[in-house]
């Protein structure tokens, strides 16, 4: 079978589409034929290499994919041949104090398929049965293969960590990215007024389609000042920030008294300048969030399967051109998700 692979860390030129041996499933695993997969920014970080993560090479990246079951291990009871499935990439140990508390994404041995272990950007993928969710008939493969990681992440950020209420106003940074466009849709569905930032008119138009009531081109205006002016100097109740870097202090500066900044990433830099005076005086909360629990995954994905939420496809890219897909994310080209399909499925 064919798989996206890299033999060492580096730029997008390290990515290949190689012939590799097929992996039969272990006793608790399922093998499925991939119909559609998707890129996340995580694939870029993994390809570049991250401190503390020593991958066996060659590595197949990829945390999102959906397809049809071809083979199940002897202990697997939940799935059988021809079932439609999608990956939920977080692997928890089930034994540590956090797992036992139902907080699987805080597991002390937490791993992500595609990051710490082989991923699913291939013609066939083999993953633990616990990492699959059923996909109802009628859901497009492109939707099934691109929703899981970003919708579960944005759901936990807003619904569980920020405890969003229907009257809470929300600012979503980087609304054109995978997590960002999912967060806009969730905030629109669950919360009050939604504000979104992005770097072009076109991206902002899509953000408005996803449910943003107000859009801000942060390359033209300082968004914290814009939020102050749009909210009568009050600020918003919740900021969703997966960008950090230089935006961090403006994110804090966009919050109302008692507001919550929830972060899951630091695409623009993880050591930003911060304003402690503002945090204590305005009684702000800074909340970290990573992936989601299986229950949160089910909640978020049920609203994808029924069409309430919809991952927007930037482009469908053949797996043999995965390097071009990586470049689109790094160059911030387009809006929503880059979908990858095995060339044999096109
Ligand atoms: N902790 C978790 O569980 C978790 C889960 C998912 C993602 N993440 C993290 O969250 C971040 C976003 O992931 P994603 O998959 O949504 O990424 P993505 O699809 O590539 O979107 C990133 C967006 O951020 C904006 N951006 C602002 N500054 C940027 C910069 N310096 N470089 C690149 N983009 C920049 C871009 O929009 P504009 O051009 O419009 O500004 C872009 O659309 C990543 O850092 C990722 O690792 C964490
Ligand atoms: Zn655990």
pLDDT for 227 beyond 90:
yes
pLDDT for 254 beyond 90:
yes
Determine contact, residues 146/337, Cβ cutoff 8 Å. yes
* 275-316 residue pLDDT tens: 999 999 999 999 999 999 999 999 999 999 999 999 999 999
**Domains parsed from the chain with CATH numbers:** 2-146+311-345 (3.90.180.10), 151-288 (3.40.50.720)
* pLDDT for residue 287: 98
The arithmetic mean of pLDDT across residues 259-273, rounded, is 97
Percent over 70 (pLDDT), the chain: 100
Q: Whose CA is nearest to atom 40 of ligand 1?
A: 198
CB atoms within 10 A of CB 210: 25
Rounded CA separation 164/153 (Å): 14
Determine contact, residues 33/84, Cβ cutoff 8 Å. no
At residue 214 the predicted structure's pLDDT band, cuts being 50, 70 and 90, is: very high
At residue 230 the predicted structure's pLDDT band, cuts being 50, 70 and 90, is: very high
Q: Whose CA is nearest to atom 24 of ligand 1?
A: 174
CA distances from 120 to 2, 30, 85, 276, 284 (A): 11, 12, 13, 42, 39
Q: How far is the CA of 330 from the centre of ligand 1 (A)?
A: 9
In eight-state DSSP terms, residue 307 is T
* Ligand 1 pocket by Cβ (under 6 Å): 40-42, 45, 149-150, 153, 174, 176-180, 198-199, 203, 242-243, 264-265, 267-268, 290-291, 329, 332
E-strand stretches of 131-290: 132-134, 170-172, 194-198, 214-217, 236-241, 255-263, 285-288
* pLDDT for residue 314: 97
At residue 93 the predicted structure's pLDDT band, cuts being 50, 70 and 90, is: very high
pLDDT for 23 beyond 90:
no
102: Cβ contacts below 8 Å, ≥ 6 apart: 293, 295
* 97-138 residue pLDDT tens: 999 999 999 999 999 999 999 999 999 999 999 999 999 999
In eight-state DSSP terms, residue 161 is I
Host H or E run for residue 221: none
306: Cβ contacts below 8 Å, ≥ 6 apart: none
* pLDDT for residue 171: 98
The arithmetic mean of pLDDT across residues 209-230, rounded, is 98
């Amino acid at each position: 079978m064919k798989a996206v692979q890299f033999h060492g860390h580096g730029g997008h030129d390290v990515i290949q589409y190689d012939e590799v041996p097929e992996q039969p499933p272990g006793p608790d695993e399922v093998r499925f034929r991939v119909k559609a997969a998707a890129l996340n920014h995580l694939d870029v970080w993994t390809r570049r290499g991250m401190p503390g993560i020593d991958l066996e090479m060659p590595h197949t990246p990829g945390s999102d994919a959906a397809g049809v079951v071809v083979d199940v291990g002897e202990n697997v009871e939940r799935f059988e041949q021809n079932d439609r499935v999608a990956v939920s990439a977080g692997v928890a140990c089930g034994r540590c104090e956090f797992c036992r508390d139902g907080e699987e994404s805080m597991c002390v041995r937490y791993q992500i398929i595609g990051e710490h272990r082989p991923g699913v950007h291939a013609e066939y993928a083999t993953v633990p049965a616990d990492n699959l969710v059923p996909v109802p008939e009628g859901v497009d493969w492109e939707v099934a293969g691109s929703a899981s990681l970003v919708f579960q992440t944005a759901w936990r950020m807003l619904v569980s960590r920020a405890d969003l209420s229907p009257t809470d106003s929300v600012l979503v940074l980087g609304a054109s990215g995978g997590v960002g466009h999912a967060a806009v849709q969730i905030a629109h569905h669950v919360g009050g007024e939604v504000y979104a930032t992005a770097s072009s008119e076109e991206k902002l138009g899509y953000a408005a389609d996803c449910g943003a009531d107000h859009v801000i081109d942060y390359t033209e205006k300082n968004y914290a000042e814009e939020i102050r002016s749009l909210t009568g100097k009050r600020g918003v109740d919740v900021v969703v920030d997966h960008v950090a870097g230089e935006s961090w202090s403006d994110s804090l500066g966009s919050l109302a008294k008692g507001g919550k900044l929830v972060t899951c990433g630091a695409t623009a830099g993880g050591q930003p300048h911060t304003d402690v005076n503002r945090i204590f005086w305005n009684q702000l909360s800074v909340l970290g969030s990573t992936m989601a629990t299986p229950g949160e995954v089910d909640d978020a994905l049920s609203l994808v399967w029924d069409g309430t939420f919809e991952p927007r496809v930037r482009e469908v890219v053949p797996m043999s051109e995965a390097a071009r897909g990586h470049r689109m994310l790094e160059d911030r080209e387009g809006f929503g998700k880059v979908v990858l399909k095995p060339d044999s499925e096109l």
